[in-house]
Amino acid sequence: MARKKFDLSTLPKYPDLKIEKRLWKKNFINLGGIDEAGRGALAGDVAAAVVILPNISKLTRILAGVRDSKEMPQSQREALEPIIKKNSIAWGIGFSSPEEIDQIGILPATKLAAKRAVEGLAILPDYLITDYLDLPDIDIPQEKFIKGDMRSLTIASASILAKTARDAKMRALDKEYPEYEFAQHKGYGTKKHREAIKKIGKSLVHRQSFNIKV
């Protein structure tokens, strides 16, 4: 069945708590939002994060500025990261390696990273909301949302934690493989990155199964 076309005009200006409030009213108190980072990169891990936010009236004010991490500059993501962590009931981050991506595929590896993020939580969620990601291996009621990171403050918060955690890993890899300049492009397929691959080939942290056009 084809995915129903989503009406972008219905998106809020910033992620809000409409989804969360509906579920909180159903007594899902520990509501975990999940998002990933690095799925489309050519190198490095894929990361996933889960965040459980408190049901408090001042939450949108505390997390003002939180939105889809792809829409934010690095400096703003990094400024919001500790605020999200400090004001969450719980948060967790999981990774799946390039080797795992090559072995099982990027989508299963993304789901594995999400499972690891949930398993690392101090408090188990009683419901999960995701940015259109099915997680059948996680035995928790869940719901997926198209453009979830643009609609839900919880999912958007998770997107920031996933992105900042993965970016930190890529900066560390830059020190091991300076010729690829991972700190600049974080493993994504920029022109400069592809030119480096063409010149010196793939490193051990590149996804060998990806068809990289250079």
Residues 84-128 have pLDDT tens digits of 999 999 999 999 999 999 999 999 999 999 999 999 999 999 999
Asked if 72 and 106 count as a contact pair (C-beta separation under 8 A), the reply is no
Cα–Cα distance, 12 to 16 (Å, whole number): 7
Distances (CA, A) of 81 to 22, 98, 184: 26, 25, 20
Asked if 186 and 170 count as a contact pair (C-beta separation under 8 A), the reply is yes
Average pLDDT, the chain: 95
Please list, in sequence order, all residues whose beta carbon lies within 8 angstroms of the beta carbon of residue 117, skipping any fewer than 6 positions away.
Answer: 34, 48, 49, 50, 92, 93, 94
At residue 212 the predicted structure's pLDDT band, cuts being 50, 70 and 90, is confident
Asked if 63 and 87 count as a contact pair (C-beta separation under 8 A), the reply is yes
Classify 52 as helix, strand or coil. Answer: strand
Cα–Cα distance, 53 to 185 (Å, whole number): 30
Q: Does residue 1 have a pLDDT over 70? A: no
| % of the chain with per-residue pLDDT over 90 | 93
For the chain, the domains span 14-165
Asked if 154 and 53 count as a contact pair (C-beta separation under 8 A), the reply is yes
Q: Does residue 4 have a pLDDT over 90? A: no
- Domain covering 14-165, topology: Nucleotidyltransferase; domain 5 (3.30.420)
DSSP secondary structure letter of residue 16 = B
